[in-house]
Amino acid sequence: MKEFFKVTTIEAVLALRNVFGRSGTERVGIEQALGRVLAADLLAPGDIPGFDRATVDGYAVRAASTYGASEGAPAYLAVVGAVEMGRTPIQAVGPGQAARIATGGMLPQGTDSVAMVEHTGVIDDATIEVYRSLAPGQHVVARDEDAAKGQTLLSAGIRLRPQELGLLAACGATDVNVFVRPRVGIISTGDEVVPVGAVPLPGQVRDVNTHTLAALVGQCGGQAVLYGIVPDRYEALLAVCRQALAQNDMVLVSGGSSVGTRDLTVEVLAALEQSRILVHGVSISPGKPTILAQCGAKPFWGLPGHVTSAMVVFMVLVRPFLAHLAGWINDAPVRVPARLTRNVASAQGRVDFVRVRLTRQTGEIWAEPILGASGLIRTMVASDGLIAIDLNSEGLEQGAPVDVVLF
Amino acid sequence: MKEFFKVTTIEAVLALRNVFGRSGTERVGIEQALGRVLAADLLAPGDIPGFDRATVDGYAVRAASTYGASEGAPAYLAVVGAVEMGRTPIQAVGPGQAARIATGGMLPQGTDSVAMVEHTGVIDDATIEVYRSLAPGQHVVARDEDAAKGQTLLSAGIRLRPQELGLLAACGATDVNVFVRPRVGIISTGDEVVPVGAVPLPGQVRDVNTHTLAALVGQCGGQAVLYGIVPDRYEALLAVCRQALAQNDMVLVSGGSSVGTRDLTVEVLAALEQSRILVHGVSISPGKPTILAQCGAKPFWGLPGHVTSAMVVFMVLVRPFLAHLAGWINDAPVRVPARLTRNVASAQGRVDFVRVRLTRQTGEIWAEPILGASGLIRTMVASDGLIAIDLNSEGLEQGAPVDVVLF
């Protein structure tokens, strides 16, 4: 009855991403584009801001007119007008002259810098004195300083943050070409699993995995499609898996931590059209009994039934595949360096993932391992992230530096 | 013309959060609850899992039946049946007996532990040998190990992650009581600002702030309501501000980095009903000319026009207010400790926020300052986060430890 997995390493599993293609693309309005993945490089359609622009309130001048100016020996300049916001200044400004300008205004012809109002004094309606010497370009954003026409500003494959949306707006992009969010079918199995709305009888548990996995999919930019709970019967599971494969870009079956249910998942996978098991067992803990198959052009995962194991496998393995489908290149999760609060043992020959809580003490960040059986969802609730203990390590000592991947 | 701000410190601004109340609450389905803020404590409605549960495949036994067992001297046990998944085992198991059980199964009466299948051998249909001594509770999750009835599992004010949704599911919560997402009205001002879809004439720029701020609001759990661009005229701005105040829980006016526009915002604020200016100038850079007013029960912000300044002010000041309105308690952003790649100068008497890019070299994380005028959106695009240089500091040296708040 003992199972011999030919376990695959994490790296070997991740290398299989290239078996699969990427999502198609679509255009969405920039109001809807936060968190979406850019599908084409963004080139600057013109110079931005497109004109030399004041960064302070004051007087647009020719810098040379102020050379040598100081509090003791100010430069005296003739005020020849004021720049109106949003308009081309009609008047050129010559040597020894100045034009009033507000922050964001366009520098008049003949000027190259702005004297801050704080460094000037008003003599009369037509004359100011300037107390500091200016350099050309001072207090000015050059016409192409934010972007020069044709420059690549954003690369395809990045996930859009607020500032990227700002840059798109600056380029006049009211909508943007992004990858379609991959659809991910989620199936729970297990004769002991009942819907969240049901009252479990003794021996039954509520379906936690569907909701946890759906939220993880959403967080990573996918669209979860729920298929509910399927009993541990070949025909029932095969029918739902076939339907989920037809309707989605990837399928996750969770449940079946027992050998019997795992065998059932493998049997169903073998019966699916154009299917091929790529991975059956991964050298990680928790999550060893993970299955990855290729069904046509789509990845199909058999995840452990324990919710914490399923979450770890999602973060370590499924997430990078989802990112790949989604066209997302810069998908490395945030890692916070910390030190371990206590010794943690680990078995050689597998990568151990340990849930940790972060605490800050005496200016340092500490990672405190959260213990508990891998079926316990509260251990995930108590945690801020995961640390990995290497394949060849027998454990880490108190004080050891670790990288915490945040949830 | 010189302005004298009575600048307020960051801490004093943040203390003003308590002037304002919190959002109302609503019930949403757990499928829609990712990222929402819990409005009531979650108490365990019963023990979870609710029964003693096997964590491995094997045989449910009384631990005492295996005491002293080893490879050389196994314990022989009589197999009296098998536990069906999701059912109460009908048969009690006595001393010297065992029942087959799969991971997740319910322990039969009379048993307290599970012998892993890998540590057993089958003698015949009715007899097994066990090679290891078990302790009571071994390979079992106790009936109340994930949660004991009545225990507080989640506190009001947390933002729901996938694992919290899993815990809610385990408790049978098909829907959940959350704070209503605060509505945030966003207004751009400036005669030089044109809509994103327009082609700017010389002297004009596209409206970047509306889209950047809306995305920041959405990221922090608010609902952005856009009011577009309002010209720098008293009546126009007053009318739109009044409308936005009536329709939202908070209002952001951005633009007006020039003294004239700032004055206009202040004038409009003074004219609004039940309004009181709480802050006019903050000791930060960028972002000094920030305005905060209380209009009735609602916060009203005047943000700088430069998009980078507006983003910094949002992250440092507006975000904590939005979190407060949203009922969000654990709202501290992620901080990554790093070391500076180069010296950074800073003025005393204000907190300087410097954009940085994170790089990893020789196992350490480095923060590389991104330079550029604060009007440049590309400096935000190039950055991963912000560091703060303290009020009393004249700067930080290369190699200095810093905390990077991630965007």
B185-237 pLDDT, tens digit per residue, is 999 999 999 999 999 999 999 999 999 999 999 999 999 999 999 988 999 99
Q: Which of residues 139-168 of B touch A (CB under 8 A)?
A: 141, 145-147, 153-154, 161-168
Residue B244: phi, psi to the nearest 5? -65, -40
What token pair was written down for B323? 């979190």
Is there a contact between B205 and A170 if contact means CB atoms under 8 Å apart?
yes
- Give the tens place of pLDDT for each residue, B269-282: 989 989 999 999 99
CATH code of domain A335-406: 2.40.340.10
Residues B85, A192: C-beta atoms closer than 8 Å:
yes
Give the mean pLDDT of chain A: 94
Fold assignment, B25-48+145-179: Molybdopterin biosynthesis moea protein, domain 2 (3.90.105)
Q: What is the pLDDT of residues B77-95, one digit of tens each?
A: 999 999 999 999 988 999 9
Q: Which residues of B touch A192 (CB under 8 A)?
A: 85-86, 104-106
Q: Is the confidence at residue B181, as pLDDT, over 50?
A: yes
DSSP 8-state class, residue B263: H
Q: Name the residue of chain A whose CA is nearest to B172's CA.
A: A196
- Could you report the per-residue pLDDT of A210-235, keeping only the tens digit for each? 999 999 999 999 999 999 999 889 99
For residue A187, give the nearest of A220, A205, A213 by alpha carbon.
Answer: A213
B10-24+180-325 adopts what CATH topology? Answer: Molybdenum Cofactor Biosythetic Enzyme; Chain A (3.40.980)
pLDDT at A363: 79
pLDDT on residue A148: 96
pLDDT for the residue B3: 45
CA A106, distance to chain mean position in Å, is 37
pLDDT given at position A282: 96
* Candidate from A49, A198, A381 with C-beta closest to B167: A381
Q: For each of chain A's 407 residues, which pLDDT tens digit applies?
A: 334 457 899 999 999 999 999 999 999 999 999 999 999 999 999 999 999 999 999 999 999 999 999 999 999 999 999 999 999 998 899 999 999 999 899 999 999 999 999 999 999 999 999 999 999 999 999 999 999 999 999 999 999 999 999 999 999 999 999 999 999 999 999 899 999 999 999 999 999 999 999 999 999 999 999 999 998 899 999 999 999 999 999 999 998 666 777 788 889 998 998 999 999 999 999 999 999 999 999 999 999 988 999 999 999 999 999 999 999 998 888 899 999 999 999 988 999 999 999 999 877 899 999 988 767 899 999 999 999 999 999 999 999 999 999 98
- pLDDT band per the 50, 70, 90 thresholds, residue B344: very high
A53 and B CB contact within 8 Å: yes
**pLDDT interval class at B258 (50, 70, 90):** low
Residues of chain A positioned with their CB less than 8 A from the CB of B322: none
| DSSP 8-state symbol, B19 | G
Q: Do the beta carbons of residue A366 and residue A339 sit within 8 Å?
A: yes
- pLDDT value for B262: 74
Residue A356 Cα distances to A342, A371, A380, B220, angstroms? 11, 9, 9, 25
A152/chain B closest Cα distance in angstroms: 11
Interface test with B, best of A38, A85, A358 (most B CBs within 10 A): A85
pLDDT of residue A90: 84
Which string of DSSP letters, residue by residue, matches B204-261? -EE--HHHHHHHHHHHTT-EEEEEEEE-S-HHHHHHHHHHHHHH-SEEEEE---SHHH
The pLDDT value given to residue A3 = 45
Q: Answer whether residue B4 shows pLDDT above 80.
A: no
- The C-alpha of B274 sits at a distance from chain A's nearest C-alpha, in angstroms, of 31
Tell whether B358 lies on the interface with A, counting CB pairs under 8 A.
Answer: no
- Are B376 and A202 an interchain contact pair (Cβ–Cβ within 8 Å)? no
Residue B265 region by backbone torsions, left for phi larger than 0, else alpha for psi between -120 and 50, else beta: alpha
CA distance to A30, A58, A166, B91, B113, per residue, from B82 (Å)? 58, 87, 63, 9, 15
Nearest to A212 among B154, B165, B257 (CB): B165
B297 neighbors B21 (Cβ within 8 angstroms): yes
Q: In a mutagenesis test of the B interface, which of A4, A208, A209, A386 is the best target, namely the one with the most B β-carbons within 10 Å?
A: A208
Contact indicator for A188, A209 with CB cutoff of 8 Å: yes
Name the 3-class secondary structure at A294: strand
ipTM: 0.93
Return residues 360-379 of A near B (CB < 8 Å). 363-365, 372-378
**B215 interaction partners in chain A (CB closer than 8 Å):** 34, 161-162, 165-166
Inter-chain touch A174–B192, beta carbons under 8 Å:
no
User: CATH for A26-46+155-179?
Assistant: 3.90.105.10
Mutation site, B208, B230, B309, B364, interface A, largest A CB count within 10 A? B208
Averaged pLDDT of chain B: 94
Judging contacts by C-beta atoms under 8 Å, the chain B residues touching residue A406 are 334
Scanning A87-126 for CB atoms below 8 A from B yields 87-89, 102-106, 117-118, 122
Cβ-nearest to B164 among A89, A147, A381: A381
Are B360 and B304 spatial neighbours (Cβ–Cβ below 8 Å)?
A: no
Tell me the domain boundaries of chain B: 10-24+180-325, 25-48+145-179, 53-141, 335-406
CA distances from B91 to A192, B36, B121, B276 (A): 18, 46, 22, 74
Pairing of strands A58-61, A97-101: antiparallel
Q: A53-141: what fold?
A: Molybdopterin biosynthesis moeA protein; domain 3 (2.170.190)
Percentage of chain B lying above the pLDDT 70 cut: 98
pTM given for the model: 0.94
Give A105-123 pLDDT, tens digit per residue: 999 999 999 999 999 999 9
Chain A neighbors of B311, CB-CB under 8 A: 162-163, 166
Q: Note whether B333 contacts A: Cβ–Cβ < 8 A.
A: no
